[in-house]
Chains A and B, each alone.
Chain A
Amino acid sequence: MHIANAVCPQCKAGFIVDQKLWDVGTVRLRCIACKHSFLPPASPKSLSVEEAANAAVPIRVWEIG
């Protein structure tokens, strides 16, 4: 399990995130407590969404609400 620790900047709730998702850096994480969406700080932005999703086609990220 390759994970990073995320902390919501709004409510300070902590939760775990897949390292690949973290490494994309342009996909907003979703707080488990207050539902606030935020970009992972200090992400290396070293992966594309497609690489993180192991997809062979361009990927659109569907945002809740």
Chain B
Amino acid sequence: MTAASLAGWLADPRVPLRLVEDLVDPAAFEATAILEQLEAQGAPPPVLFPRVRSLDGSSGEFKLLFNAYGALSSIAAALGSGAQSWPALLRDYVKRVRDVREPARVEHAAVHENVVRGSEVDLRILPWSRHVAGEGGDYFTPIAVARATSGTRRHNLSWNRAMFLDERHVGVHISPRDLWSFHRAAEGSGEPLPVALVLGHHPAFNLGAAAIAGSAQDEYYMAGALLGQPVRVVPSRSYSDELMVPADAEAIIEGRLLPGTRVVEGPFGEYMRYLGPQKLSHVLEVDAITWRKGAVIVEIFTCHLDHLNAHISIEASFLDKAQASVPQVTGVSWFRGGGPTTLVIAMRKTNEGQPMRAAMAAMSASNLLKQVIVVDADIDIEDSQQVLWAVSTRMRAESGLVPLKNLPGISLDPSGSGPFDATSGFIMDATWPLNRPHPPVGRVADALLERFPLSRYKIRNVR
């Protein structure tokens, strides 16, 4: 079996790849200025920049890829799915992620074709990017790989923002989840935590980093599920077996998160489409940079569709939870462009109360959701106008609208407040009541559309 790689995905004819042939300077916003204009034209395709300037001014060693997650077809190709809609893709994701695969150890890896270590390390050889106005520095959006310091010694994968500090240091923002806990345990013993920043891999590998996993789950297994084959891992150059790194990565920064040290980092564009603030973040001291020949570094176009869609693992977990609780759920969807705190659930209701139960189950998956709207299965949940039509015509607020108070939110939500980012929300049941008939939707019958097709008629533009 051919190992799943970024190159394999880029060669997939379903991936609507664009290529910018000119030399661009990503640290001068040149790449993202191009991306911003492409996104204005519609669903953004993956864009490869084969000639990019590194922070030291050189060009040619590395390539940059943005928008791996901008378009549905790109993600579907990554997950081996033929889905034509987001709800269908989420259903495929939920099936695929259950088939976890043990990582496969190898001793030699393409990502070790080039290695610089110790005092030879200079992070300026890499093409760091500036994404949106107001960011506080030059960034990558890598996958951080770390290993628990005790217990199962499992590997954790997480998506992080990483800011260039100097030739050997990176500021890494870490949310208070698994990686944060691993570092806290090491820090308590006065020890640094070895971490690998993976700068490019097959997009399904990266989606594994955003998957919601159990606390005992080695996340290489989940990445393998999404890849459809085991993740090939190799001992890291700096920490040997203590930290296994993905062999088929494009480039890796190996370093240690220092104990008792923080740095002022940010602001940075986030997936809520706003900037996140400057704050105290962790410091990574770099021991090695490794990369394969012609490495393609995968970057997220922050604050844009690429960034939101890179979180479909979370969106899929809402579907998984809602369907596990209420099998009548047929699909879920964020309002794309409307942010990730509002979810729409479609269902074929058989009992009153099911919409509320399904909404509560979805909300239990994470602190992200504030609002859930439940509609009947005849509503296209990807079409916000249809959803609002259902709200307008099928819901009565006295029974269908349930406000929710005192919810823990997420720090990136601008509406949250207080030390725990407290927020509030609602569940809106916009499904037809079962105990009375509802009117049919008025439209011309399909049989008559076939009988009188437009092509039969001479229709002239008057002006």
Chain A residue numbers with a CB within 8 Å of B176 are 54
Q: How many interface residues does chain B have, given as a range?
A: 35 or more
Q: Which residues of A contact B278 (CB under 8 A)?
A: 6, 15-18, 21, 29-30, 32
- Which chain B residues lie closer than 8 Å to A29 at the CB level? 264, 278
Q: Which of the 9-residue segments B240-248, B411-419, B428-436 touches chain A?
A: B411-419
In the complex, A63→B171 CA distance in Å? 11
Q: Tally of A-B residue pairs with Cβ under 8 A?
A: 100
B279 near A21 with CB under 8 A, answer: yes
Asked whether, in the complex, the Cβ of B260 is within 8 Å of the Cβ of A60, the reply is yes
Least CB distance from B137 to A in Å reads 8
Question: A59 contacts which chain B residues (CB < 8 A)?
Answer: 260-262, 280
Cβ < 8 Å to A, chain B residues 252-301: 258-264, 266-267, 274-280, 283
A27-B280, A32-B134, A65-B166 given; A57·B260 CB < 8 A:
yes
Binary flags per residue of B399-439, CB closer than 8 Å to A gives 1, else 0: 00000000000011111111101000000000000000000
- List which A16-56 residues lie within 8 A (CB) of chain B: 16-18, 20-21, 27-30, 32, 49, 52-56
Question: In the assembled complex, which residues on chain B have CB atoms less than 8 Å from the CB atom of A57?
Answer: 187-188, 190, 259-260
Beyond A1-B411, A57-B188, A59-B260, list 18 extra A-B contacts (CB 8 Å): A1-B421, A2-B418, A2-B419, A15-B267, A15-B278, A17-B279, A18-B280, A27-B264, A29-B264, A32-B136, A32-B278, A53-B262, A58-B260, A60-B260, A60-B261, A61-B263, A62-B169, A65-B166
Seen from chain B, the residues whose Cβ lies within 8 Å of a Cβ on chain A are 134-137, 165-166, 169, 176, 184, 187-188, 190, 258-264, 266-267, 274-280, 283, 411-419, 421
27 inter-chain pairs at a CB distance below 8 angstroms, sorted by A residue, are A15-B134, A16-B267, A17-B277, A18-B266, A18-B278, A18-B280, A21-B277, A21-B278, A21-B279, A27-B280, A28-B264, A30-B278, A32-B135, A32-B136, A32-B137, A32-B267, A32-B278, A55-B260, A56-B187, A56-B188, A57-B260, A59-B280, A61-B261, A62-B169, A62-B262, A62-B263, A64-B263
A residues contacting B by CB (< 8 A) are 1-3, 6, 15-18, 20-21, 27-30, 32, 49, 52-65
